[in-house]
Structure 1
């Protein structure tokens, strides 16, 4: 074997073809073989070199950074702080409103009981005064005068309900009251009516024949 691999390759091919190799042999073949070999080697070398030059060197693929930039970290801290302040302010306002409602409810309850107690005390005093007037009126005058005064006191409380009644019923009640008062007035003026004379007054003795 020679040092030229291409020459060895061609020799093996010629040996394999045998007599048929002479058919492809021309006068120009001996002189063209070295040129073809040199051209093939040159093209192979040039292609290899161009491929080596065109291919960029391999570089490691960039990996995503696990750390945030200072600007992003500062923005996140400011946003979190702002949200915390908003929540705290909302809770504070809600607590103040609730406390104000509780205080107002307490004041309303205290005011209600204060007014209720005041009205109750006034009613008690008024009832006591009315009772004293009734006792004084009952001790004066004859029986029918006291009856008229009792009727006047009783009808004062029912005046409002009488006004709210229907016209026919109200008229009937007024006529009945007027009739009774007229009868009582006549009895009060009649000196011979029962109950007009005081009990302690002595009747004059009647003369018997």
Structure 2
């Protein structure tokens, strides 16, 4: 009894077992939450990524049951029933598989689920909030979850923007200015900066780099 699922990658090396909340309406927000946290993805570092997914789900479930990590064997052997197998590429679901049976209930292979077969009980944003609320206070993303994501060129002086540091909780900072030239050999024209480490736009570490930035408006 449960609402089970296995999450794996195209390489089929590891599997994350969920005894409850195995529907797409939980798994998809789980992947997005891990992405927002800045965790290394299953594509770049599968061992680390599976540990972080287990951590988030373990916090969400509470207790000591309902989630586990296991070596992966075959799709047919790993399918736990219920919601089957999610194959994730990075932090995206690439395929969702379920065992196919013939009329005599003999296994004939795997098939992809149709959209109408997916669970749709939980709202995406509600699950993001639930995952975040279950994290230790210092690890929670808070308003960052739903801050507006805007192109870096549309950020203005005075905007409150998030600095997403590597594997650390994003920090909310005030945009102090916009770059106007070369800083340590790099053209920072049009790139916003905050006064994080002093020296304003003369300090390369103050710039909010990336194609987009999350802003509270």
Relative to the length of structure 1, the TM-score reads 0.16
Higher relative contact order (CA 8 A, sep 6+): 2
Give the structure with the larger helix fraction: 1
* TM-score (ref. length: structure 2): 0.15
Point out the structure with max Rg over C-alpha: 1
Structure showing the higher strand proportion among its residues: 2
